[in-house]
Amino acid sequence: MTTQVKKICCLGAGYVGGPTCAVIAYKCHDIDVTIVDLNESRIAAWNSDHLPIYEPGLDKIVFERRGKNLFFTTQVEQSVLEADLIFVSVNTPTKKSGLGAGFAADLAYVESATRQIADVAKSSKIVVEKSTVPCRTAESMRTILEANSNENIRFDILSNPEFLAEGTAINDLLNPDRVLIGGLQTPEGMKAQQALVEVYAHWVPTDRIITTNLWSSELSKLAANALLAQRISSINALSAICEATGADIDEVAYACGRDTRIGPKFLKASVGFGGSCFQKDILNLVYLSEQLNLPEVAAYWKQVVDLNEYQKKRFVSRVIKTLFNTITNKKIAIFGFAFKKDTGDTRESAAITLCKDFIQENAKVRIYDPKVTTEQIFLDLSEPGVVDNTKQLKNRVTIAKSAYEASEDADAIVITTEWDEFKVSIELDYQKIYDQMHKPAFIFDGRLILDAEKLRNIGFRVHTIGRAEA
Ligand SMILES: NC(=O)c1ccc[n+]([C@@H]2O[C@H](COP(=O)([O-])OP(=O)(O)OC[C@H]3O[C@@H](n4cnc5c(N)ncnc54)[C@H](O)[C@@H]3O)[C@@H](O)[C@H]2O)c1
Ligand SMILES: O=c1ccn([C@@H]2O[C@H](COP(=O)(O)OP(=O)(O)O[C@H]3O[C@H](CO)[C@@H](O)[C@H](O)[C@H]3O)[C@@H](O)[C@H]2O)c(=O)[nH]1
C-alpha cells in the first residue's frame, strides 16, 4: 500500500516553491498545502493582493485556493510538524567565496532547511529535493536526516527537480512535458516515489511521470539546462558568422530547426541568455566535472557560458562602433530590463551587463521595462563591495515609464528584452519615436523582434543581431 499524502509543506516561497505548490493546491483539493519562508515580507506579499512575483495566470490560481487548501506562513516549525511530505525549494546560488567560489552551488540553505526538518519532525516524512542541486546532494540530506531518525520516525528522500520556465510557469506546471521523480531503488524508496507520483497524477498523465534513481534525477536537471543553454550559445555563435557573411540567423535557425532531429525550439539568437538558472547550473556542472577529474568535460560545458559572455560583449562593441566609436554623453534608450518577457525577474539579465558597459563608456542610459521596479534596476546596476558607483548611477541612469519616454531625445534604442509591446505591429508607434530622437536615429535589435524593413522606411538605421548591416 502506498502512503497517501494529505498535508504538504514547502520550504521556500520563491519563483519555484510559490507557483509549483499553488498549482498542486489548485489541482489537489484533498491535499492541504502550506508554503513557508523565512522572509516575512515575501510571505506578507503572498498573502496580499500583490503577489511577490509576476507570472501570467498565477494570481487567479492563488486567489482561488488561498485560505482553502493553500496557505502562506513564516511558521516553519508548525508546518513541518504537520506535513507528510516536505518540498525543499530554497535558493541554491553560485558560491561567492571559499572552495569552488564562482562555480559550485552554495548548499547552505538546503542544509539548513534539512536540519530544520530533522530538528522539528516528530513523525515520518517524505522529504523532496525540489531545488536544483549538484549530483548526490540527496545523500548528504539523507545522512543528516537519518542521523536524527529513530524507530518511530523515518525519512525518505526524493529528488523532484522543477523544469518550469519563468513567464510560462503556470502553463508549464499545468501541462508539463514530464515530471521527474528520483528515489532510492529500495522498497521504502519506491513507496515514497509512488506517493509523490500519486500527487502529480491528479492532473499529469502517468506516462509523463518519469521515475528514476536519485542520481539520474539530480543530474538530469543540470543536464537539461546545459543542453538548452548550449543550443542558445550555438545559435549565438552562428549569429556572429551571419553578421560577417550576409546570412540571416533567423533563416538559418528556421532551416536547421525544420530538421525534426534538431527541432525549432531554443534557437532564437539573442544578446545572450540570462535568468537565475542557466549560468548557475552549467557552472555547477563544470565544477562537478572538475571534481570528478574530468577536465575536458568541464572545459566543454564552460564554453557555453564563455560564449554567452562573448555574445554580450560583441553586441556592446557593435553599438559603440556604429555610434561612431564613442557613446560619451549619448542617450541610449534601453527597452526591457527583465531577463526575458513576461517576468519581472532580472537575475543575470543580459540588460545588466549591457547597461553597466554603456555606463562605463559614459553614455546616458534611460531604461524602460513594463514589470521591473526602479529599485530593482538600481540594485542590479550598483556594485557594492567593488566601487561605490551611486553617484555615477545618479548621473548616468534614469528610469522611464514608457518606451516613448525612454526614447525622447535618444541617439539609439537598444532592445534587450523581447516584450510584445516593443514589436512594431503590436503597440508602439515607431514613427512617433523616430520623430523625437536625435538623428541619425539608431535601433539595435538584440532580440530579433523588429520589422527592420518597416523601421528603415521610417528613417531608422537598424542593426539586428545575426544580420549583416544593411
Ligand atoms: N527560478 C526558476 O525558474 C527555477 C526553475 C527551476 C528550478 N529552480 C531552482 O529552484 C530553487 C529555488 O529557486 P527560486 O528561483 O524559487 O529561488 P528564490 O530565491 O526565488 O526562492 C527561494 C526562497 O527560499 C527561502 N528560504 C531559504 N532558506 C529557507 C529555509 N530554511 N526555510 C524557508 N525558506 C527558506 C528564501 O527566503 C527565498 O524566498 C533553486 O535551486 C533554483 O535553481 C528555479
Ligand atoms: O531560443 C532562445 C530561448 C531562450 N533564450 C534566453 O534564455 C534565457 C532563459 O530562458 P528560458 O529558458 O525560457 O527561461 P528560464 O526561466 O531561465 O528557464 C530555464 O531555466 C529553468 C530553471 O532551471 C528551467 O526550469 C527551465 O526548464 C529552463 O528553460 C532567457 O534570457 C531567454 O531570453 C534565448 O536567448 N533564445
384 pLDDT exceeds 90?
Answer: no
* C-alpha dihedral, 454 to 458 to 462 to 468, nearest 10°: 60
The grid coordinates of residue 425 equal 505591429
Could you tell me the fold of the domain covering 7-204? Rossmann fold (3.40.50)
Strands 461-464 vs 397-399: parallel, antiparallel or unpaired: unpaired
> How high is the pLDDT of residue 296?
98
Q: Which ligand is nearest to the CA of 172?
A: 2
Angle between helical axes of 249-257 and 214-245 (0-180°, round to 10): 130
CB atoms under 10 Å from CB of 236, counted, come to: 26
Whether the CB-CB separation of 321 and 281 falls below 8 Å is answered with: no
> How high is the pLDDT of residue 424?
66
DSSP per-residue codes, 295-333: HHHHHHHHHHHHHHHHHHHHHHHHHHHHTTT--TT-EEE
Q: Which of 276, 262, 3, 256 lies closest to 124 in space, CA to CA?
A: 3
pTM, to two decimals = 0.96
d(CA 432, CA 437): 9
Q: Which of 180, 261, 291 lies closest to 225 in space, CA to CA?
A: 180
Whether the CB-CB separation of 371 and 329 falls below 8 Å is answered with: no
> Among the atoms of ligand 2, which is closest to the Cα of residue 271?
35
Question: Order of strands, edge to edge, in the sheet holding 331-335?
Answer: 397-399, 364-368, 331-335, 412-415, 442-445, 461-464
Query: What residue type is assigned to position 161 of the chain?
Result: P
330 pLDDT exceeds 80?
Answer: yes
Q: Is 273 in the pocket of ligand 2 (CB under 6 A)?
A: yes
- The domain segmentation of the chain, as residue ranges, is 7-204, 278-464
228 CA to middle of ligand 2, Å?
8
155 pLDDT exceeds 90?
Answer: yes
Cα distances (angstroms) measured from residue 251 to each of 227, 267, 426, 448: 22, 11, 22, 12
Same topology, domains 7-204 and 278-464? Answer is yes
137 CA to middle of ligand 2, Å?
24
426 pLDDT exceeds 70?
Answer: no
277 is catalytic: yes
Q: For cell 494570481, what's the residue? A: 59
What's the rounded mean pLDDT across residues 312-327? 98
d(CA 461, CA 82): 63
405 pLDDT exceeds 90?
Answer: yes
Q: Which residues contact 463 (CB under 8 A, 6 or more apart)?
A: 318, 319, 322, 442, 443, 444, 445, 469
d(CA 459, CA 316): 23
d(CA 7, CA 79): 9
Q: Is 437 in the pocket of ligand 1 (CB under 6 A)?
A: no
Q: Which residues contact 425 (CB under 8 A, 6 or more apart)?
A: 451
Whether the CB-CB separation of 113 and 12 falls below 8 Å is answered with: yes
Whether the CB-CB separation of 251 and 469 falls below 8 Å is answered with: no
208 Rama sector, left if φ>0, alpha if ψ -120 to 50, beta otherwise:
alpha
Cα distances (angstroms) measured from residue 330 to each of 326, 413, 441, 462: 8, 11, 12, 17
The grid coordinates of residue 440 equal 541619425
Q: What is the pLDDT of residues 9-28, one digit of tens each?
A: 999 999 999 999 999 999 99
DSSP per-residue codes, 132-164: ---TTHHHHHHHHHHTT-BTTB-EEEEE-----
> How high is the pLDDT of residue 264?
97
Gyration radius of the chain over CA positions: 24
425 pLDDT exceeds 70?
Answer: no
Whether the CB-CB separation of 409 and 331 falls below 8 Å is answered with: yes
Helix %, strand %, coil % of the chain (to 5) = 45, 15, 40
CB atoms under 10 Å from CB of 393, counted, come to: 19
350 vs 383: which has the higher pLDDT:
350
What's the complex ipTM?
0.98
Q: Which residues contact 146 (CB under 8 A, 6 or more apart)?
A: 155
**Which CATH code fits 278-464?**
3.40.50.720
Residue 19 preceded by cis peptide, ω within 30: no
Q: How many residues does the chain have?
A: 470
Binding residue positions for substrate = 162-166, 221-225, 261, 268-274, 339-340, 447
Q: Which ligand is nearest to the CA of 86?
A: 1
136 pLDDT exceeds 70?
Answer: yes
Q: Which ligand is nearest to the CA of 128?
A: 1
Displacement of CA 417 from its chain's centroid (Å) = 14
419 pLDDT exceeds 70?
Answer: yes
Q: What percent of the chain has pLDDT over 70?
A: 99
d(CA 418, CA 428): 13
Q: Where are the alpha helices (H) located in 128-277, listed in sequence order?
A: 137-146, 169-174, 187-200, 214-245, 249-257
Tell me the average pLDDT of the chain: 96
Least confident range of 34-43, 132-141, 290-299: 132-141
Binding residue positions = 12-17, 37, 42, 90-94, 131-132, 162-166, 221-225, 261, 268-274, 277-280, 339-340, 347, 447
